[in-house]
Amino acid sequence: MNGTSRSDIHAGLEVQIVLKEDQRTGNLTKGIVKDLLTKSATHPHGIKVRLESGDVGRVKEIL
């Protein structure tokens, strides 16, 4: 599953996100979702989340 649909993502889920500074390189960061930051139901580049580590980025993969 990709991370473009808000209904697929919830707190406690393990995901891989791309951080703002890594958008050019595509480096992914793994973590556990703490908060969903995107309010719309879908987003073409991925739903923006905050991980428990405090990192903020868009979900690219749900693990």
Q: How far is CA 59 from CA 21, 56, in A?
A: 14, 10
Asked, for residue 34, whether it belongs to a domain, the answer is: yes
Q: Residue 43's CB: how many other CB atoms inside 10 A?
A: 16
Asked, for residue 42, whether it belongs to a domain, the answer is: yes
Q: Has residue 2 got a pLDDT over 90? A: no
Domain of 24, in residue numbers: 6-62
User: If you average pLDDT over every residue of the chain, what do you get?
Assistant: 95
Domain count for the chain: 1
Asked, for residue 1, whether it belongs to a domain, the answer is: no
pLDDT for 38 equals: 95
Asked, for residue 18, whether it belongs to a domain, the answer is: yes
- Which residues lie below 8 Å from residue 53, measured CB to CB, with a gap of 6+? 31
